[in-house]
Every structure is written in C-alpha cells, then in structure tokens.
Structure 1
Amino acid sequence: MASSAKKLKVQNSKDTREFQTWWTDKFGVINKGDKAVCVLCSGTMVCRTSSVKRHFETNHKSICQKSEAEQKELIASALKDRNKQSTSINKFVGKNCHTSAVSYTAANVIARHSKPFQEGEFLKEAWLACAPSLFADFENKNKIIQRIKDTPLSRNTIKERILKLAENVTEQQKLDIHSASFISLCLDESTDVTKSARLAVFARYCVGNVIKEELIAIKSLPTTTKGADICTAVKNSIVEKEIDIKKVVSVTTDGAPSMVGKKIGFISLFQTEVGHSILEFHCIIHQQALCAKSGLTSLDNVMAVVTKIVNLISAQALNKRKFDALLDEVNSVYNGLLMYNNVRWLSRGSVLERFVECLEEIRLFLQNEGKIEQYPQLLDVMWLSKLMFFTDICQHLNTLNVKLQGTNKTIIVMIDLIRAFEAKLQVFRNDIIAKNYKYFPYLKKYINESDIHETTNAENITEEFISVIDSSIKEFSTRFSQFKELSETVKFIMYPDVTTFHTLNFSQFDWLEIEDFEMQLIDFQSSSIWIQKFIDMRKELELIETERLTSNISKDANNKILETWNALPETFNCLKKLAHAILTVFSSTYACESLFSEMNNIKDSVRNRLTDESSSACILLKVTSYNPNISQLSSNLQQQKSH
C-alpha cells in the first residue's frame, strides 16, 4: 500500500513538471525544452506552477498590480515582439546560410578549374555588373543585387573555403577507406615550380559496388628523396588518414632505385612496416616506354639528325618565321615542326611523323639557306628508309601507350594490351620478312617511290629492321615477366568458374588462408547457380566492350566485376578476399603523373608562393571523385562578411 502511494506521488510530481499552456496568457511564459522562459525578461524556471507564479509576482510586480485585461495585453505585446525578433533572426541566419553556400560553391568551382583565389572577387564584380540587366524585370531586383553584395568572395574567404572543402572530402575518404577490406597504393615523386620535391600518394579501394582511386596525400620531401624519406612520408600519410596499414596489399611505383632498392628502397622498408608480403609493381606504362626506348636504340642516330634539323629550324626565331612562310607559300596543311622532348620520350612519334610529312619543305628550306650539304642524310636512300621505318614503329608504340593511359583500369586489361602488342610484334616481323610492309605505311610509300630494291644494301637494311623488332620483342618479354607470372591469378577475378587451383600464384598473398580457399573454390565450382553469375557477367562485359569500340560509349566494367563478387555469400569469403585484393591493384602510376601536370597548372610561376597546405587542398579538389557536402559546411558556418 505504501509502495502504491509512493508511485502516485512520483506520478503527480511528474505531471506538475510538464509545461501548461495556460501559463502563457496568465504569467507570460513559453516552453523551451524542459524549462519555462519568461517573455517579459527572458528569465528561466522549472516547469512548476508555483515556480512560474512566484517568478511573475516577484519580478513583475508593476504588471501584477494592473487589471487582468491589462496584464493580458502587456503579455501579448511582449510575446509578439519576441516572435518578431525570432523570425528576424531566422531570416538573417537563413540568408547567411544561402550566401555561405554560394561562396563554398564558387570556391569549389575555382579549385576544380585551377583558378587563383582572387577569381572570387572577379566573379562578384561580374555578377554585380550583369545583375541590373539580367534581373531588370524582377520585382525583387534590388534584393537580388544586395544578396550578391552580401556574398563573401574575397581572396582570403575563397582560400578558407577551399581548405574547409578539402577537409570535408578528406573526412569522406576516411569513412570509406575505414570500411574497405583492402587498399592498394601508387606513388610517384616529382618537383614543383619551386624545385621542391613532392610525393603523390593515391589509394585504390572498394566502396560498396564502386572502385575508388583517390589522392590521399601530396607531401613535400624537405631534404633527400631516399627510400627512407619516402617511407616516412607514406607512413605519416597513412596515420593522418587513419588507415590500417595491414590492409595494404600492393604498391605500384615508377621503378626508380629509391623505390625498389633491395635493402633501403621504399618497397623493402614499407613491407616491413606492413608486416606481410605485398604485391610490388613497376608501372606498366613506364615499362612500355622503357621497352620502346631500349628496343630502338640502334635508330638513335636517326633521331639525332632529326632533332638537330628541327632545332635548327624551330629553335631560332628567324629560321622559324622563314620556314612558316615557306609552308604557307606551298599551301602545306602543317604550320610548323614539333620539338622533341627527351623527358617525354614517346613524343618522338609525333615529331617524326611531322618531320616526314614536311620532308620536301625541309629540303627546300635548307637548300634556300645554303645548308643542305650539311645534312646529306636527307638525300641518302638507306637513311631515309630507316627514318620511315622508325616513324612507323613509333606510331605503333604510341598507339599502345595511349591505350594504356587513363585511370580506373584493372591490371587484367593492361596485361591483355601488352600481350596483344607482343603478338603484333611477331606479325610486324613477318611483314618485314615478306616485304609486304602492310603495317609500315610510310616505309611502303617510300620504297614504292624510290629504287631502294636496286641497291646492294637492300637486304642489309631489311635485316636491320628485323633486328630492331627482335630487340623490342625481347625487351617486352623480359620487362613484363612478372605480370606473366601473375596472369592466371589476375584472370581469376573474371574466370573463377574455370580457374584451376594449381595455376594460381599465392606467393604474394601469404595473408590468405590457402587451405580454406581451395575448399571454397571446389564448392563454388560445383554450384551451377554461382557459376552462372560469372557467365552472365562476362556477357555483360562483352556488351560494354562492344559499345566502347563501336559507339565510343564508355562504361565502367570494373564496377560490374566488383558487383558480381559482392553478390556472393560470405561462405566464399576467401575467394572474395583474393578478388577484392586484385581489383584494387594499380596497374600504372598514371594517376600520379596526371596529378603532377595539374600541380604545375595550380602552382605555376605566377602562384609560386602558394603554401603546401593551400596547393594540396586545390589539387585534392581538382582530382577527387567526391563532392564536398556544401550544405553541411554552410549551415555550420558562422558567417562574417569579407567585404
């Protein structure tokens, strides 16, 4: 009985602490959370009739002495003023939120287009200049113009906004990387316009049914660029991004000694930090360029003469003007020669092609200048044959290089491209032996127009061409041996239903439970349901590839592969682990190399004082696939007008 009375007392106490609506008219209080707030003095009190009444009678004696009608009128007036003030504040906050969102959006556009921070001021000036005409027929034209004036777009504001936008993107990256099972890295080092060494680190990981390639760091290397320096920078980046280092399964680099040195190279040092074996890859594009360079060394003398003539004509202003005038006089479709850049070695293909197309004009120009005798090669049949062959083979190599370029390409696609080119080299060799020259258009045209077959050196030059192709075949076979060793393992992501266990190479996957994997593979290959999923997937990939080749419509085939693997139940978790790990592998450092081009556009000779923090934020916003959460950023911002 005592217990029931106690419960009733507690219940009554609870009821008395609930806000009563009649208090507003009687005592001038409103409800705010679990408190009562006085509209007359903004005082707060607990929600209890005795407390509310005591506050009113103690603090507002002058009102208590008035009649009930006068009390209600004063309370109603105070309540109206409070509501008006609240509405005004809400409108002010809402307006500020809108202008903040605009400044964040403008900052994001400025960063994505690699524009200077002061472009915000230019945008504002342009908007204000256009607004009177653009909104002339709007009744609220003046309000619109005022809103533009209120939008903060000063240089410092844009800089601060860009830093905040980059922080927001970084937080999104952290969340997704944290949920990823495996991560692969690709990194490269270059110098900016101030000659400072900058290290770019990209991560590739799976988020749901999407494969992401994201910049996770661009670090300055203060002194040396040794393996230990790079390892320290990468470790710091991983810590900052809160990445579990044990999730890293592969690293792709440019193959420089500081990266791949056996004892003190980055890979060796980093693998110790990871604690398990990792796949180490030398960028396929870089290796292909080395193959192209090494395989054609016997033709370096041809390139030397071409470079000398091009420099004579194009590097000297007077000669360039004369040659341009000559091209115009003979109605040439070209407006000049292309300069050769030894750093970008594959540029020689374009240089050679333009040189060959303008060969007659070059001869005429040198003859007019009295310098044709200095270059007897331009009249030498054997040298010109080598030039034509060199031009043709470089075109084939450049075509391969273009196919290898780009981001979000799985390693299986890259290996297939290399394998196809190796097969083409054999076809090129047979074509030279048969003297058909079907795949050497410049050489074929020159041979048909000259009397090269009547010379005693015709057979020798054919043998030289065959030797060049043989050298290229050997280079490709040697440099891509690692990829061939892993080719069957890599193909597993597309053909798990027909892959045999003994063909898989697990040497770099010691973190995988091999025994469980073998048993799961048997179960998987014995299930017609799961086998059919991959048969259907390959049919879809065929359609995607057909559309790409015939209609130039590009769809992401990688995500389709990932989606199929994600559909498998966890009973095949070991198979899924291997597939996810392979799908994350970077086949090249193209992402890093393209980033350095963006870096040089952002931090150029005019903006060379841009800090590492600011330039890194601009670069991140330029290359990321994430969209900053502008509504969240603007709603959290306490806006201050910049001007």
Structure 2
Amino acid sequence: MSKKRKWNDDYVKYGFTCATEKDGTQRPQCILCSTLFSNANLKPSKLDEHFKNKHGGRDAGNNIVTLIAKRARFDQAGTLPTYGFSPTEKSLLRAFYQVAYQIAKLKKPHTIGEELIKPCVLEMAKIVLGKEAEKKLQQVSLSNDVIHNRIIDLSDDILEQVVADIKASPVKISLQVDESTDVSNCCQLLAVVRYVKKKKVEDNFLFCQSLKTTTQAIDVFNKIKEFFARNELHIDSISSICTDGAPAMLDNRSGFAALMRKEIPNLKITAFFIVTLLQQGHCPQI
C-alpha cells in the first residue's frame, strides 16, 4: 500500500484546495473548475501542470489573491460534505497545535509526530474507543512539515501578544540582553523584556536571533533596533537595559551601552549574566 501524500498550504498558489475524505485521505480539488484529483496527484508538479494546461497559469490573471478569494466558498459548510468531504474541524485543528506545542516544548524532532505519536494515538483509539474514533483521529496530520509550520504559527502568535502587551504597557519597558552560542556554535542574541500588564509586572522572552557575521557592539545594537522597527515599537520606550559585563557591551565609547545612550540619552545600563538562568529555565530578573 502506497504512502498517502499530505496537503501543504503552499499548494493554494497552484489554484487548489484540500478535500478530506471521511477516512482522512487528502485529495486536491481545483478552485477554478472543481476537478477532484486522487491523492497521488497531491504534489506540486501535477498541480502546476493542471493549472497551466487548463487555466493558463498565472498569466491568465489567477494570482494568489484572487485564488484565495475564490477558495473561500469551498470552505463553507455544506459544499464539501455534499460530495462526501468536509473541511478541517476546529477540534482537529486545535489538536494539530496542541501536539506541535508539546513537541516544541520538549525539544523533540518534528518527525516524531508522524513516526511515533500518531501511530500510538491511532492504536489507543482503536482499542479503547473503536474504529470510528480511529478514523476521526486519522484526519489529524502530524507530518514533519505540518508540525514545523504549526510551531512557526505558535511562535508568531506569542510574539504578537507580547508586542501588543508592550505597546499597551503604561510605563516604559526594561530589556535584558546577552550573547550565547547554540549546539552548533552559532552565536545567538537573547533578549528578555519586562513590562507592566494589568497592574502586574510581566517577564517574557522577547527574541533569539543569530549574529551571523561578527558579535561586535554595533551588531547587537542593529539587531535590537531592527527588531523594534519591524514590530513598530519605539526604541525610546526602553527605560533600562541589563547586559553581561563584556567590554563590547559596556565600553563607554563604542560599546553597546554607548550606542544605546546615543538613541536614548537617559537610558540606565546595568550588568548581569543571564545565560545560566536561561539554561536552567528560570525567568531572569531585570
């Protein structure tokens, strides 16, 4: 029995949506002509071939925006069920994200979802709840790409919430920054933020970004400035920064502290080493 192919949201650019059968099999359906293909055709080369031969490709005016707009009617309840298919239920979608969250939290390989978790869940459902429950859970896709995309979605959502909280903070924020290296010896810039939310002081991990070239003070400064600009945060909303005691951070002329004071004259700078706390899982104090 051949392995079933999995839907990828990027396939919508070829003019297709995903139709899921009752047994969990995913099949591509053309948004423009409603043609339903087999699971074996669920790959970019086949989808692109149909899009070009039947609908003229992107030159015919079928860009991604118009395709997504046309796709909306296929996701309405009552369209796909008529043909024996149904869109992804909210409970199943929530299950996707819960499993992805646990995999990310435990730092496990993304492939563990499809190779271990799903087979175990299906076996347990079949034994305890019966075949109907097994068929239901079969629709939960835990492939490597799905888990990867779900983790990115979760990360983006958390960042949006933290940024929104920072913007709503009634007082200025504090940052704690440090440089560290990961398991591949690549230098990473870590940032933790403290702000006020609902009259309570909150600590949250803000970002971890690679310093791809050098680790000089100007590199650290540019990373933080770019992050604030990208997320529409005012750099002068920072009232204090806590760093490690490295010369690149605290040098009075060309260090990171000096560069920040040029942007924020009244900025307070203190020194503290946070890598140990982060590795132990504690929330650092700013």
Matched, 1:257 2:247: yes
Partner of 2:121: 127
What does residue 409 of structure 1 align with?
none
After TM superposition, the structure 1 = structure 2 runs for residues 76-225 of structure 1, keeping only pairs within 5 Å, are 85=78, 88=81, 92-93=86-87, 95-121=88-114, 122-135=116-129, 141-180=130-169, 181-225=171-215
Deviations 1:246-280 (A, max 9, x none): 11010001111010001011011011122x21111
- 1:593 deviates by 3.6
Distance 1:278 1:87, change over 3 A: same
Q: Structure 2 vs 1, CA of residues 91 and 209 (structure 1 numbering), >3 Å: closer, same or farther? A: farther
Give matches, 1:156-555, under 5 Å. 156-180=145-169, 181-274=171-264, 276-283=265-272, 286=273
TM score, norm. by length of structure 1: 0.30
Which residue is 1:330 aligned to? none
Residues 39-59 of structure 1 deviation map (CA, whole Å, 9 limit, x = unaligned): xxxxxxxxxxxxxxxxxxxxx
Deviations 1:211-266 (A, max 9, x none): 21112221111122111111111111222232211110100011110100010110
Q: Is the 8 A contact 1:216 1:241 kept in 2?
A: no
Q: Which sections of structure 2, spanning at least 5 residues, go unmatched?
A: 1-76
Q: Give the letter for the 1:184 counterpart.
A: S
* TM-superposed deviation, 1:594: 3.6
CA distance in 1, matches of 2:183, 2:226: 24
Q: Deviation of residue 102 (structure 1)? A: 0.6
- In structure 2, the CA distance between the partners of 1:208 and 1:106, relative to structure 1 (3 Å rule), is same
Distance 1:594 1:264 in 2: 28
What CA deviation, in whole Å up to 9, does each residue of 1:482-532 have, x standing for no partner?
Answer: xxxxxxxxxxxxxxxxxxxxxxxxxxxxxxxxxxxxxxxxxxxxxxxxxxx
Partner of 1:395: none
Distance in 2, Cα, partners of 1:111 & 1:240:
25
Shift of 1:91: 8.5
How far apart, CA to CA, are the structure 2 residues paired with 1:147 and 1:153?
Answer: 14
Amino acid in the other structure paired with 1:165: L
How far, CA to CA, are the matches of 2:146 and 2:276 in structure 1? 31
Distance in 2, Cα, partners of 1:252 & 1:195 = 24
CA gap of 1:87–1:257, structure 2 versus 1, over 3 A, is closer
Q: Is the 8 A contact 1:190 1:596 kept in 2?
A: no
**Residue aligned with 2:138, SS:** helix
State the 1:196 CA deviation. 1.0
> Is this contact kept in 2: 1:231–1:269, CA < 8 A?
yes
C-alpha distance 597-193 of structure 1, shift in aligned 2 (>3 A): farther
Residue 59 of structure 2 corresponds to none
CA contact (8 A) 1:231 1:266 kept: yes
Distance in 2 between the 1:164 and 1:242 partners?
20
- State, as a whole percentage, how many aligned pairs show the same letter: 26
Looking at both structures, which has the greater relative contact order when contacts are Cα pairs under 8 Å and sequence separation is at least 6?
A: 1
Higher-strand-fraction structure: 2
Q: Distance in 1 between matches of 2:241 and 2:218?
A: 16
Q: CA deviation at 1:210?
A: 2.2
DSSP-derived class of the 2:89 partner: helix
Work out the CA distance in 1 between the residues paired with 2:155 and 2:229: 18
- How far does residue 87 in structure 1 lie from its aligned partner after superposition? 9.0
State the secondary structure of the residue aligned to 2:108: coil
- 1:595 is matched with 278
CA distance in 2, matches of 1:175, 1:593: 28
Paired with 2:85 and 2:213, the residues of 1 have a C-alpha distance of: 53
* SS state at 1:214 partner: strand
Give me the CA root mean square deviation: 2.4
CA contact under 8 A between 1:267 and 1:280: conserved in structure 2? yes
Q: What do the CA deviations read for 1:580-603 (whole angstroms, capped 9, x no partner)?
A: xxxxxxxxx3xx5443567xxxxx
Mapped partners of 1:189, 1:243: distance in 2: 22
Q: Which residue of 2 aligns with 1:54?
A: none
Q: 1:246 corresponds to which letter in structure 2?
A: D
Task: Give the Cα separation in 2 of the matches to 1:220 and 1:594.
Answer: 20
> 1:85 and 1:182, CA in 2 relative to 1: closer, same or farther beyond 3 A?
closer
* Compared CA separation, residues 126 and 268, structure 1 to 2 (3 A): same
Question: 2 CA distance for matches of 1:99 and 1:261?
Answer: 53
SS in structure 1 at match of 2:86: helix
The 5 A counterparts of 1:593-632 are 593-596=276-279
Q: Distance in 2 between matches of 1:223 and 1:597?
A: 28
The residue type paired with residue 94 of structure 2 is: A
CA shift digits 1:45-98 (9 cap, x unpaired): xxxxxxxxxxxxxxxxxxxxxxxxxxxxxxxxxxxxxxx9459369823x5332
